[in-house]
A and B are shown apart, each in its own frame.
Chain A
Amino acid sequence: MKSLKSIYELHKKLEDDQIIIAYEGELNPQITNSVLTLTEKNLDKKIPTTQVRRRAFHIAVECLQNISTHSEKIEKYPNSIFLIGQEGNEFFVSSGNVINSDKVDSLQRRLDQINNLDKEGLKQLHMQVIKESLLKQESSNAGLGLISIARKSGKKIGYQFVEMDSENSFFSFQASFLKEPEAV
């Protein structure tokens, strides 16, 4: 049996870190919707500024749907983690999920490309990707979610890959944004 004290410790840790929502488990479309409903309720309570709350929700939606849509179901590692918290003058949305290691290079290139662009560059890339997706008639939106997260965040996206075994890597992702509204 798990030590009962560890429940209190986990609770205390989440409180101390001012976590707004934390989820660990499988993410399919149905669960994603439930997590989003909870996220929206919690954000309503914790973020008074409308524009900042909307940006937080937008980032949460894209982050969760990215995992649920793109993560190929890896039987060995079915679980993902998702959390929203705050530190200093910022809120952050973080997630972690297991991806096939052969996807790491292209994902890293896309994230570096996004992180190297300024506000105007991101806007142009966003519009270009929308145009290209329509020409290709493809439903996968080729990084549109990530671009949109970067635009709402107004900061560099944090990411890391950790090799788990010969085929799989853990992808950690974090987007943060200022608590005080400013034009993004």
Chain B
Amino acid sequence: MEKLIRFGSPETPDISLNPILGRLEFSGKSLPEDSDTFFKPVLAWIDEYLAYPVPNTEIEIKLDYFNTSTSLVLMKVFNKFQEKENVVVRWYHLPEDEDMLESGKEFEVLSKLNFEYHEFH
């Protein structure tokens, strides 16, 4: 299975999905108007990955900003890992960005996945 790498733009995030490390990283900004279309390859990649996942999967969300359309996609990503073992979501936020921290806590409640919170600078 191949890695999936996408470089960000002013409206879209950097994406790095690595099947060998079991690491899914999203960073930068995400505000595409049509997030479904933009993230379609990501969701397809996850389906393929979940057929043969490595023992530990890490989902790293280091977003500076995301729109509501992206929040629905993030929820779809988390839902795919529901009832899977050994999945951790590392949710990053800037120290002064309490809204981002709160968003993470809401996703934690909605997805019931194991979330860890970290600051980034």
A contact set with B: CB distance below 8 Å:
29, 32-33, 36-37, 50-51, 54-55, 57-58, 61-62, 65, 68-69, 123, 126-127, 130-131, 133-134, 139, 141, 144-145, 148, 152, 183-184
Is A58 in contact with B72, judged by CB distance below 8 angstroms? no
For the complex, give the distance between the alpha carbons of A148 and B68 in Å: 7
Given A130-B110, A144-B68, A36:B31 Cβ within 8 A: yes
How far, in angstroms, from A62 to B35 measured CA to CA in the complex?
13
Tell me how many residue pairs across A and B have CB atoms closer than 8 Å.
62
**CB-defined contacts of B98 to chain A, threshold 8 Å:** 51, 183
Contact B65 A123 (CB under 8 A): no
Min CB distance, B54 to chain A, in Å?
A: 26
Q: Are B33 and A131 in contact (CB under 8 A)?
A: no
Task: State in angstroms the CA–CA spacing of A145 and B71 once bound together.
Answer: 11
Whether A51 pairs with B75 at a CB distance below 8 angstroms is: no
Q: Give the residue of B34, B36, B69, B99 whose beta carbon is less than 8 angstroms from that of A51.
A: B99
B120 to chain A, nearest CB (A): 14
Residues of chain B within 8 A (CB-CB) of A68 are: 33
How far apart are the CA atoms of A62 and B78 in the complex, in Å? 23
Cβ-defined contact, B96 with A145, below 8 A? no
In the complex, which residue of chain A has the Cβ closest to the Cβ of B31?
A61
Are A65 and B99 touching (Cβ within 8 A)?
A: no
Please measure, in the bound complex, the distance between the C-alpha atom of A111 and the C-alpha atom of B34, giving whole angstroms. 23
The answer to whether B76 and A134 touch across the interface, beta carbons within 8 angstroms, is yes
Instruction: Select A50's contact among B36, B68, B94, B110, beta carbons within 8 Å.
Output: B94
**Which residues on the B side are within 8 Å of A33 (C-beta)?**
10-11
Task: List 18 extra interface pairs beyond A57-B65, A58-B99, CB under 8 A.
Answer: A36-B11, A37-B10, A50-B96, A51-B98, A54-B65, A61-B31, A62-B68, A65-B31, A68-B33, A69-B33, A130-B71, A130-B72, A131-B110, A134-B72, A134-B76, A141-B69, A141-B72, A144-B71
